A and B are shown apart, each in its own frame.
Chain A
Amino acid sequence: MTLNSRIPGGPIERAWQTTKFNMKLVNPANKRKYHVIVVGTGLAGASCAASLGELGYNVTAFCFQDSPRRAHSIAAQGGINAAKNYRNDGDSIYRLFYDTLKGGDFRAREHNVYRLAEVSVNIIDQCVAQGVPFAREYGGTLANRSFGGAQVSRTFYARGQTGQQLLIGAYQALERQVASGQVKMLARTEMVDLIVIDNKARGIVTRNLITGKLEIHMADAVALATGGYGNVFYLSTNAKGSNVTAGWRAHKRGALFSNPCFTQIHPTCIPVSGEYQSKLTLMSESLRNDGRIWVPKNAGDRRSPDQIPEDDRDYYLERMYPSFGNLSPRDISSRAAKRVCDEGRGVGETGLGVYLDFRDSIQRLGENAIRERYGNLFEIYERITGENPYKVPMRIFPAVHYTMGGLWVDYHLMSTIPGLFVLGEANFSDHGANRLGASALMQGLADGYFVAPYTITNYLAETKLEKVSADHAEAKGALENATNLTNRLLSIRGKKTVTQFHRELGKIMWDYCGMARNKQGLEFAIGRIREIREEFWQNVSVPGSGSDLNQQLENAGRVADFIELGELMCLDALDRNESCGGHFREEYQTPEGEAQRDDENYAYVAAWEYKGENAAPVLNKEPLSFEYVKPAQRSYK
């Protein structure tokens, strides 16, 4: 398959402006003749559905939660980047572009990243106008903080609940459109298949999670904003419901899946405490503005932290990366934590943890200043661990947090299936092999407010769309497919629960496709995942029926997809014989233990094509060229 990324020509600074001007428009009276489906109501989905509704399109939006306000964007804590340069500290669109591309270890498309930086400034304006209560200075202007991978202060925030406030803003805009009748909102409804007619996305099949009813929804275009797939690891910072099903089923219908092995392991999460654990909780990266990360200098030092004198502490990030220190990018900080724990210097009962210590900043700024900045995060920490971080340093450890990979999209955010657009974390486009902190919120809202409304309009205007109805053979076929899948899952009546399979898969993924990977491990993992898959379809126990509310059935379908995705992630990691960003192949490292990229052979986007249940997927490559930022060994020293 040839991949046309539709990157515009001309200087990058003008590229998006020119593209917008060259796009076709739909006149206001004709917009109401089109119907667009938006799946997912996080930052990308809610903002896209609201914006399309405002333009006058008929929109149907879907979410699996009971309300669009629950989408997992809500849990983002730290902030959102924008190149406003309100601090006068040398920020600019170009610098945000540069930082994001470098942070992604030169595995993202330059033009997408530039556009992201360009519209970042509009996002802040839009959100302020919607009433998002960003933190402010006493003079009434917007406040900023710093985040990893940047030397400027460009992160806007609303205490430790930035994602919540941005999502509520987008949710309110969405509900305004629901009230006006322009958007129809179907909550507690899960997408289970994509309907493709004449090689165009023309609708979806959904399952009503209350009644179990499978339904066909036809449309002129479909936008997936269904988030990431971090839950393939079972334990992650994602919400329990976050899943890959919509994206994976679209992949099976022909959408290419890109860079699945690029996953982000966040350095600051609360460590695992027991077998029953159902998820991991993030402690925002913003804490690293004032917290210092350290472990004891000597392996096996079991003294309590207040008994360890300054000389016996190793502030390893400050030592190894003096220019960025505790604010080094996520991939680098996570690996450094793994390394010191591997050396036997980890803290806590399991030895899998490092200290994040606020002692010095409390001395410098006072407890109140720290409480004002991070009060809610300290509360969360104390609630979970029973320890007071104002007195005892936090213990943190890396955990799966975000997935840079996703469905392949071109510059217009359109997948390889015409009419299927993919937004936010669900696509692969902007973060390369590693995402910088506070950039996920930026991308979700950039895609939803300022990119997709233009590109979807252009698609509708330039595409001849035949009238199709739910009676079309392809629609009925997709419905039958979904019915068969439900029946198959319910008929197995095996001995193991869905969660048991999910845990097993997650452990394999974490051990062999997590923070460090190698050829042998990945090959072993692929074999094990195939066995898990085989066993799943013979021995999974899904109680209840398909015709009512059945949370186990919902979860079974999602885990089945995670098992298949897990295999593809390992294949992708095995194919990429280099280290870059979050993808660290132990065979490829510099003498100092940093990621060793191979630009000559691997400066491409891997785009995997589904070929059938038991056939090997085919790798397509989109070469990456760098005209503006020359790839270099990433250094934060």
Chain B
Amino acid sequence: MKLTLNVWRQSGPNAPGKMVRYDMPGVNEDMSFLEMLDVLNESLIVKGEEPVTFEHDCREGICGSCGFMINGKAHGGFPKTTVCQLHMRHFKDGEELFIEPWRASAFPLVKDLMVDRSAFDRIIQAGGYISVPTGSAPDGNAIPIPKSNADRAMDAAACIGCGACVASCPNASASLFTAAKVAHLNLLPQGQPEKFDRALRMVTAMNEELFGSCTNMQECEATCPKGISIENIAILNRHFVEASFSERPATAEVGAG
């Protein structure tokens, strides 16, 4: 089939960007969206033009590297699908597509369709972990975990950190990303000691990175390639509020005994 692509081209963060039109003949319906862009890039290189920069790695929907807007929808708007897992059989012959990078001030543009998502790493650094040094763990079965809790934690932990939630949110909020991590760890017994600190610090980090606030638009859940539920945001909010009331500063009375 034949498609017309309008791709956002921008050589660097401070350069002006614009849509560039490309005709794509010979698109095979079994190709993935990224494989179609590969074909475009190969043809651009042969013509002596610069290929389109886009991020990708595993190409099986788990590493979270890839992602851009297709016709205004993150990852194309197909349920539980990343662009690397989106196959061209979902498009019609003759269709015109508009491809743009994630747009959010917390995700500065790097080049073409590639953005900088390191803000996500910094949110994790604020408390998205359980402080357990190597070697200090008890036996794996020492603390039984109800299956339903383990399953809910797993649902939240399935987040791949692609940023589609931010890109599709009218407020560019990272609430779903942050909440998924807080819920994953706070639902487990191992996560309890740092439960409140985690919620407070991660929300603070999210705000400092200039992500917007959640106003329950639910676009994030609708677009999330892993189907992460906004129920997690309710968990985050609950723990954040509890933490705000119960948080006490660390005691200053420390030192050698």
Contact = CB atoms under 8 A, between A and B. Distances in A.
Interface of A: 47, 50-51, 54, 65-72, 74-75, 84, 86, 122, 124-131, 133-142, 158-159, 161, 164-165, 168, 171-173, 175-176, 178-179, 185, 187, 210, 239-241, 273-274, 276-279, 281-282, 379-380, 383-384, 386, 449-450, 453, 495, 497, 499-500, 541, 543-544, 548-549, 551-552
A541 B32 CA distance: 25
Interface stretch (B93-101, B135-143, B211-219): B135-143
A552 B81 contact: no
Nearest to A159: B154
A278 B136 CA distance: 43
A323 to B, nearest CB: 30
Contacts of A543: 45, 48-51
A129 B137 contact: yes
B30 interface: yes
B110 A549 contact: yes
B57 A65 contact: yes
Nearest to A54: B133
Contacts of B204: none
Given A239-B63, A274-B31, A551-B53, A386 B87 contact: yes
Contact of B150 (A133, A495, A499): A133
Contact of B46 (A136, A165, A497): A497
Contacts of A68: 121
Contact of B134 (A47, A172, A240): A47
A453 B30 CA distance: 46
8 contacts: A50-B134, A71-B63, A130-B130, A131-B191, A133-B151, A380-B61, A497-B45, A543-B50
Nearest to A237: B60
Interface string B178-218: 00000011001011000000000000000000000000000
Contacts of B138: 125, 129
A489 B117 CA distance: 30
Contacts of B120: 67
Nearest 8 A-B pairs (CB), nearest first? A140-B144, A129-B137, A172-B129, A179-B125, A133-B154, A125-B137, A128-B140, A133-B153
A173 B129 contact: yes
A171 to B, nearest CB: 8
B146 interface: yes
Contacts of A67: 117-118, 120-121, 161
Contacts of B131: 176
B38 interface: yes
Contacts of B65: 65-66, 70
Contacts of A187: 118, 121
Given A67-B117, A179-B125, A138 B35 contact: no
A142 B147 CA distance: 9
A175 B145 contact: no
Nearest to B28: A274
A134 B53 contact: no
B237 interface: no
Contact of B125 (A74, A137, A176, A274): A176
B190 A131 contact: yes
Given A66-B116, A70-B65, 9 more contacts: A66-B117, A69-B121, A126-B134, A128-B140, A130-B132, A131-B185, A133-B157, A178-B121, A179-B125
Contact of A161 (B64, B80, B158): B158
A567 to B, nearest CB: 25
A552 B35 contact: no
A168 B157 contact: yes
Nearest to B187: A133
B137 A128 contact: yes
Given A72-B57, A75-B60, A276-B28, A551 B35 contact: no
Contacts of A551: 51, 53
Nearest to B153: A133
Contact of B63 (A74, A131, A136, A165): A74
Nearest to B124: A175
A75 B61 CA distance: 9
Contacts of A124: 140
Contacts of B153: 131, 133
Contacts of B144: 136, 139-141
B125 A175 contact: yes
Nearest to A548: B12
A519 to B, nearest CB: 35
A71 B65 CA distance: 10
B228 to A, nearest CB: 13
Contacts of A450: 134-135
B103 to A, nearest CB: 17
Interface string B33-73: 01110110010011011110101111111111100000000
Contact of B130 (A129, A273, A379): A129
A367 B72 CA distance: 36
Q: Which of A50, A54, A66, A185: most chain B CB closer than 10 A? A: A66
A380 B85 contact: yes
A51 B134 contact: yes
Contacts of B30: 273-274, 386
B58 A75 contact: yes
B35 A133 contact: no
A380 B60 contact: yes
Contact of A70 (B31, B57, B128, B132): B57
Contacts of B51: 543, 551-552
B137 A278 contact: no
A172 B190 CA distance: 14
Contacts of A179: 125-126
Contacts of B42: 497, 499-500
A86 B140 CA distance: 10
A212 to B, nearest CB: 12
B114 interface: yes
B89 interface: yes
A126 B137 contact: yes
